[in-house]
């Protein structure tokens, strides 16, 4: 093992260089993350404009919305999980609800009738808990 003794000035120089490298990498990562968030917002808005109906009486399941979003952006190889997608919808102002599965109020898909995607719970669903 090689041990090199450094003067105080050399130690400070290496620390400053290391800090500069860390800062540059950190800033580059931060810029990339902001770019990806901006891209996801614009992709969400494009999908909302092209494939969705904004209607206060609409309710659509999260899975149906997510699959529609992924299919719409099939060529982009998005790495957006269903949870991250749901968070984007909530940031966009949609409210989440839950019956037998999760759904969003106020959004529907143009290729489906409003509220057609929600399952009807059985009449004895409360007795199952």
- Whether 3 maps to a domain, the answer reads no
Distance CA 129, CA 22 (A): 53
Mean pLDDT, residues 88-100? 89
CB crowding 18-40: b at 16 or more within 10 Å, else e: eeeeeeeeeeeeeeeeeeeeeeb
Q: Where are the beta strands (DSSP E) in 31-89?
A: 52-61
Evaluate whether residue 50 is within a structural domain. yes
3: its two tokens:
């041990």
Quote the pTM value.
0.59
Its domain, for residue 58, covers: 12-118
Position 5 in a domain: no
**111: its two tokens:** 């290729």
Compute how many other C-beta atoms are within 10 angstroms of the C-beta atom of residue 111: 9
pLDDT per position as a tens digit, 28-74: 666 666 666 666 668 888 899 999 999 888 889 999 999 999 898 88
CATH code for the domain of 42: 1.10.10.10
Q: How many domains does the chain have?
A: 1
The residue ranking higher by pLDDT, 21 or 57, is 57
């Amino acid at each position: 093992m090689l041990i090199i003794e450094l003067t105080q000035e050399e130690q400070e120089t290496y620390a400053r260089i290391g800090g500069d490298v860390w800062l540059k990498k950190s800033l580059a990562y931060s810029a990339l993350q902001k770019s990806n968030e901006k891209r996801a917002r614009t992709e969400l808005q494009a999908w909302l404009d092209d494939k969705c109906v904004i209607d206060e009486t609409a309710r659509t399941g999260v899975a149906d919305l997510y699959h529609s979003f992924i299919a719409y952006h099939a060529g982009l190889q998005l790495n957006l999980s269903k949870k991250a997608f749901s968070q984007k919808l909530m940031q966009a102002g949609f409210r989440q609800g839950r019956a037998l599965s999760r759904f969003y109020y106020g959004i529907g898909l143009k290729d489906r009738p409003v509220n057609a995607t929600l399952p009807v719970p059985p009449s004895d669903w409360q007795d199952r808990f």
